[in-house]
Amino acid sequence: MAVVWQRHPRYSLFIFAVLACTFYLLGPYRGRVPPMSSGRAMAAYDLPSRLARSEKIYNKLLVDRQGLIKKFGPTPKEIDLFPPNVNPWPAYTVWDFFPAAYNCPHEIARLGALGDGGKWVCGLSRVEHKPDCIVYSVGINYESSFEAEILSNTQGCQIWGYDFTVNSFGPQISPAQSSRTHFNAYGLAGTDHTSDDGHKMYTLETLMKMNGHTHIDILKIDIERWEFETLTALIKPYLASGKPLPFGQLQLEVHIWNMSFEEYLTWWEMLEAAGLRPFWTEPNLVYQNYNRGGSTDLAEYSFLNIKGANVFIKDPADHSNHRDD
């Protein structure tokens, strides 16, 4: 070192100055726990904290919705679903009152075909290795890309499908996957009955009893506006009893034909009261394209159930695979 100093005194002074400056700047951080590894910071990223933050964000939406109703109403009775003229401006549609404002605490993936047929799912990884994963799909119409992709990306998921307009799942499900599928030409309704044209209709509760199930991980419903009757009949007893709904998340196509804003708001608030939170939405633009000039009165919604102990809101050590009470 002495030799270097003697031969290159200016270079040695420069190196010394750089080292001194570096140690000075790093001084305040000696002994400090890195922010992301501290207990408080890590707690902010655990599942309960993420859910609590998402609920806080969603609660703000509820306040904002009331403000929007007051602006254009001032009560729900005066609001049109798709107003032809708006005063005050800017314009709105019914979907502006019901955005998917809840943040899924896991990865979000679109499963199935791009366009009509695909659905958005929150945290498929949570059931990837779940041995008793149960999926119900109501409304098939020979388009089973959604179901096929669930089967491809999980090891234990079994899928029960229902649709009285077809005879089986669609061709997207391979022969190798078919051993994990179960199909019946039944319809989903608010009561158990046989329709005028001879189709067997069952409530979700009855279908679950037939299959020996007490909980569904993923529930997909596309039943051409019968979702209002069906979900109302399903949810009201759970609201009355205080028990959580028997499924972890719901993929639903909403058909808002021949409704008033007030009716739709009441129905939607029932979903919210039962613990359903929308984390994704998109309008059905295929339907809109073939009905040009009309309103966009079909929309896809994906909901997370934040009540109970389903696999999407509780870590494995905390939740029961079959019970949410």
- pLDDT of 41 reads 47
24 and 110 together in one domain: no
Total domains in the fold of the chain: 2
- pLDDT of 312 reads 98
Query: Does 248 map to a domain?
Result: yes
Low-confidence ranges of the chain (pLDDT < 50): 1, 3-5, 18, 21, 26-42, 320-323, 325
Those residues whose C-beta lies under 8 Å from the C-beta of residue 88, and which sit 6 or more positions away, are: 71
221 and 127 together in one domain: yes
CB 221 within 8 A of CB 227: yes
Query: Does 27 map to a domain?
Result: yes
Q: What is the CATH number of the domain that holds 193?
A: 3.40.50
Query: Does 80 map to a domain?
Result: no
Q: What is the pLDDT of residues 241-296, one digit of tens each?
A: 999 999 999 999 999 999 999 999 999 999 999 999 999 998 876 656 566 656 68
166 and 295 together in one domain: yes
Between the alpha carbon of residue 246 and those of residues 47, 92, 235, the distances in Å are 21, 34, 10
- pLDDT of 9 reads 54
Sheet holding 187-188, edge to edge: 187-188, 200-202, 193-194
Query: Does 273 map to a domain?
Result: yes
pTM for the complete prediction?
A: 0.83
144 and 8 together in one domain: no
Other CB atoms within 10 A of residue 317 CB: 5
- pLDDT of 84 reads 82
The candidate with the shortest Cα–Cα distance to 95, out of 264, 305, 220, is 264
28 and 106 together in one domain: no
Domain that holds residue 11: 2-32
28 and 112 together in one domain: no
12 and 159 together in one domain: no
By the 10 Å C-beta count (0-12 exposed, 13-18 middle, 19+ buried), 257 is classed as exposed
- pLDDT of 241 reads 96
